[in-house]
Structure formats: structure tokens, C-alpha cells
Amino acid sequence: MTLDEVTAILTAPGARFEMETVAIRGVPTRVWKNAPPHMAALVNFSRTHGEALATIYEDERVSYEAQFRAIAALATDLRARGVAKGDRVAITMRNLPEWVVAFFAITSIGAIAVPLNAWWTGDELAYGLSDSGAKVLISDDERWARIAPHRKTLPVLERVLVSRAAAMLDGAERLEDVIGTPHDWASLPDRALPAVDLVPEDDATILYTSGTTGNPKGALGTHRNFMTNILSTGFAMARMVLRRGDALPEPTRKVALTVIPLFHATALSAGLMGAMAAGNTTIYMRKFEALRAMEIIERERVNSTGGVPTIAWQLLEHPERHRFDLSSLEMIGYGGAPSAPELVRKIATDLKALPGNGWGMTETTATVTTHGAEDYLERPESCGPPVAVADLKIMDADGARELPVGEVGELWARGPMIVKGYWNKPEATAATFIDGWVRTGDLARLDAEGFCFIVDRAKDMVIRGGENIYSSEVENALYAHPAVTDCAVIGIPHRTLGEEPAAVVHLAPGSSATEAELQAWVRERLAAFKVPVAIRFSPETLPRNANGKILKRDLKMLFEDRAAA
């Protein structure tokens, strides 16, 4: 069936994915008619999953009933200690069962959750706390150690709750004194969530952008933004099944191994929201290690994992993969970075799982497009078509004219997943959010069927003597080489041309390739001016931020010898 035929079936009146039009900030917007209205409704519904496992972390196995009791206990405590609707409460900790409890306790009482990047330094964490005006901080021991020296510079921060503290705390309370440990949650008192008046457009989160340039900006998300992703994820899976010609299966609980951080929109919005609604089990790891991950996949019969392409490569290339039964894997999905077409094929052939991809950003609360199964195998360079409640268009550089099908320009996106704007940054908000659309900063094209192809970040495009070179085009050519499993193309200065393309590559274990060989490989596939003038080899996969984006600025130092020359 065509995309339009599938969408018509899935969104028909009375269907699960029926849509309606509502005004969001004065703009008529298609929304999922059957989405939960807000976080409190989702939390209350999650309790119906009862003794089904919500989270697994090492030896901690938390049921939905136990998780609900912990959420209600913490929400009640926060309200009793003066946290009101609209107050900001920050979270910074590794992926733990307490992270989930903290997030839903905060948002279910109408406060604004501020998930801070757990990879940040003390200075960066202090910036997030100060910028958001957080009244309360819920942290783990490691992050609190970084923040504590900055406490005197944060006069608005009234209270700190620390989980898993190894020593006595100075200026903070133990989270366990409020809700106990995960092992205790099932025996907490049976109480309801505190009553609060919530509507879909109420503020729910401040998620900070990755901040690859300048200070990160806080994207102000609503309850509707997050509830939209529940139905968007379900719609995407149903669309994939019907496109394959299969009948829609009966809903069954799934098990996911989540190895990307919860402070990122992908894990939080695209992953956790749907899990809470469906009663799925989410497994967290202290740190991703491929061997340990395969042990977990086999033991817990994990159905899905992923996050970024490097995780899939590490599973595929591990020399001991043959020792493990990974047959429970149904899907390996990822976003945040382009992937080699070869990776898409290997997931399907070597792991017998469906490859999945998609596009979104912090400002879209994750999912806007999705891609999977045969559609992905046939269009491995695409990130898929938009979900039914989203619209995409390609605009010229000035944002004044929509470009025709097939032309490359800036990608704009619209839908109920688009955040309100940037926290306390009206100028940046006005420049980025226009009449319900978000200017993404991505260069892309759409084909006749609506499939989206991201060709570059606008700021990453290499301009050589006036010729535009889209880094993803050169990266895809390099990825096609059988030895290349990770790569990035950047611009390096040139006295007369302005800049030239250069590349950093990581080779598969046991493989070899020379600079000249790879240059010749690209030259056979692309115009000569697109061939990297220099290629450096990295013994490890390339450095990425927590959102999975390659830190291209960190790679430029590898070419300082050319600049000096």
C-alpha cells in the first residue's frame, strides 16, 4: 500500500490514530485525538500494568505498581515542601529507576522537569540550574559532587535530594529518606497522585540543546509535546507493518534495552513515554559494553535496542557475538547521526532484526519522521516520511520561498510535538519558531512520496570555492567502502578556496585501507571537488555528544599540520 493509503486506514474516524484539529498558540494543528492529555493521566494509567516490570537496573526489578507508589510518594513530598505548578525541578543522574520516578513526580504535579546533561562538568551543570531557575535538584552522588562547589552561586536552589550517596551529605538530603530504595517501593503507602489542574498546553519540561556552539538553550516543552510521541511511535510501527503487507498484531508487552541517556529527547520522549503507556519493560545499564549488553539481551529476551549507529556496529562486530542467542531482537533503531547503508543491511541479515531510523531534535521533542523495515532497506539514506500529525517543507536560505520536490534547502517542521520556544530567550525563539513551524537548521530534500533526506547541518556544509559540498554525501560514499564503519567529513581552511573537504574514518576490526585507496573510492563515485583532500584514521569510533552527534569541531585539530603548512 502507498503511504497515503496506510495513513487513511490508520487515521480513519474511530481508529486508534484518529486525528482532530485544535488551535495551539493560535495555529490550527492536527493532533492525535486519543493521546493522553498530560503526564498525570499517563502515570495513573501506567498503574494498570500492575506487577509487569517497568524497569530493570542490575539486580533491581521494579514493577509498575511499585513505580507508581514511588512517584506518588515523591510527588506528595514535593508538593508538601512548596513545589507549585510552574516551578522548575532539575534532574541530573545516570539512567536509574529513580530518574523515571523523579521525572513523573515532578511533571504530574504541574512543575517543570529540567533534565540536565549528566555528562556536563560542574560549571555546565551550574549553568543549567541557574538558567532554568531550578528550585529543587534531584541528583545522584556523582553529579552532586560536581555541583556542590557551586552551591553558593545558586541562591534560587532551595533543596537538593541525592540518590545513592556513598557518604554523609553536606547541604543535601538523601532521596532514600523520602521514598526508600527501589527495593522498598512496593511497600510504600498506597496513595493517589496530588490533585492538580493540568491541560495539554501546560509547560512540562526544559530540555537543553546539545550546545555544540555557545551555551545550550532550554527548549520549553508541553505535556502535549510528550503525549504526542506515544501515538506517533505507535502510528510509525503500525504504518511499517501495513506497508510490509502484514496484519496489525495484537498489542504485547515488549522489553527494550535503553543505552542512551534519559536527559535526551530520544530516550525520554520517543522511548519512555510509549513504554509507560504500553507497559513495556525498560532495562538500563550503568555503562554500555557490548559483551554485557549481549548477556542482557539473551537473559531478558530483549526485543529492541539501539540509540546511535555505533551501538549497532559494536554488537555486529563483537568477536564473541556467536556465543549469544540474540534471536529475541526484533528491531535495532537509532537517530541523531547518519549511518552506513551497509549497517542497515547487516542488521537485517546478520541479526535478523528490523532496522529503524528517524529524525527529530530537541525542539521537536524527538519523533517527526520514522523509517523502518523494507522502506529503510530500499532508501537507506533517508530518515523516512513524517508521522501523520507532522508536516515538513523545504525552504530557501532566507525562509521566504518553499522549494519544489527534490531541491535541497532548510528543513522546516510543524506539528503538536514542536516546543513552545526557548526558555527566557525571546529573540532566539522568534528567529527559530515561526507560525507553528520550527526552522531546524538541517539541509534536506523531500522526494515525491514525502520521504525526507537530511543532507547536512547548514553549519556543517563545506563550501569549496563557491561549490556546496554536503558532508553526508561524501560520508555515504565512504560508508559504502567495506572497511569503513564510522566517518565524518569536515571543512578545513584553504587560502584561496576558503575551505576544502577532509575526512576522519574508523575502520572495522581486522580491515585495512589507505588514504589514497579511500580517496580513489570516493573519486569513482563523486565529482573530483568532493573528494577529501586529506583523510585521518581514528583507532576508536568518532567522538559524540550525549545526543549521538559527532563532535566535528573536535576533529579539526587532526588537520592542524595542513593548516600550518
Asked if 16 contacts 34 with a C-beta cutoff of 8 angstroms, the reply is yes
- Mean pLDDT value of segment 463-478: 84
Q: Running DSSP on this structure, what letter comes out for residue 544?
A: B
Parent domain of 114: 80-219
Asked if 125 contacts 92 with a C-beta cutoff of 8 angstroms, the reply is yes
Report how far residue 339's alpha carbon sits from residue 336's, in angstroms, rounded to the nearest whole number. Answer: 10
- Mean pLDDT value of segment 5-30: 97
- Mean pLDDT value of segment 351-367: 92
Which of the two residues, 211 and 246, has the higher pLDDT score?
246
Instruction: Check pLDDT > 50 for residue 212.
Output: no
- Mean pLDDT value of segment 367-375: 92
Cβ within 8 Å of residue 257, ≥6 positions away = 283, 285, 293, 296, 297, 300, 302, 304, 305
**pLDDT tier at 89 (50, 70, 90 boundaries)?**
very high
Which of the two residues, 437 and 546, has the higher pLDDT score?
437
pTM over 0.85: yes
Assigned domain for 537 exists: yes
User: Hunting for cell 520561498 — which residue is that?
Assistant: 401
Assigned domain for 75 exists: no
| N-to-C CA span, the chain | 57
Assigned domain for 311 exists: no
Assigned domain for 14 exists: no
CA dihedral sign, ordered 220, 223, 226, 232: negative
Q: Which residues of 315-325 are buried (b: 16+ CB within 10 A; e: fewer)?
A: bbbbeebeebe
Asked if 378 contacts 517 with a C-beta cutoff of 8 angstroms, the reply is no
Among residues 219, 237, 252, which one ends one of the domains? 219
Among residues 196, 219, 242, which one ends one of the domains? 219
**pLDDT tier at 562 (50, 70, 90 boundaries)?**
confident
Q: What is each CA distance from 282 to 21, 132, 443, in whole angstroms?
A: 33, 29, 34
Assigned domain for 554 exists: yes
Report how far residue 160's alpha carbon sits from residue 186's, in angstroms, rounded to the nearest whole number. Answer: 24
Instruction: Check pLDDT > 70 for residue 338.
Output: no
Report how far residue 351's alpha carbon sits from residue 303's, in angstroms, rounded to the nearest whole number. Answer: 12
Q: What is each CA distance from 242 to 235, 377, 378, in whole angstroms?
A: 11, 16, 16
The residue among 265, 254, 267, 354 whose CA lies nearest residue 297 is 254
The residue among 491, 457, 450, 489 whose CA lies nearest residue 471 is 489
Assigned domain for 519 exists: yes
Question: DSSP letter string over 448-511?
Answer: TT--EEEEEEGGG-EEETTEEE-HHHHHHHHHTSTTEEEEEEEEEEETTTEEEEEEEEEEPTT-
Kindly report the CATH number assigned to the domain that includes residue 554: 3.30.300.30
Kindly report the CATH number assigned to the domain that includes residue 140: 3.40.50.980
- Domain count along the chain: 2
Assigned domain for 364 exists: no
Question: pLDDT tens-digit profile of 160-204?
Answer: 999 999 988 888 999 999 999 999 999 999 999 999 999 999 999
Among residues 219, 254, 272, which one ends one of the domains? 219
- Mean pLDDT value of segment 130-139: 98
Report how far residue 287's alpha carbon sits from residue 265's, in angstroms, rounded to the nearest whole number. Answer: 19
- Report the percentage of the chain scoring pLDDT > 70: 97
Q: What is each CA distance from 196 to 6, 189, 232, 283, in whole angstroms?
A: 39, 20, 26, 31
Assigned domain for 107 exists: yes
The residue among 414, 494, 376, 317 whose CA lies nearest residue 29 is 414
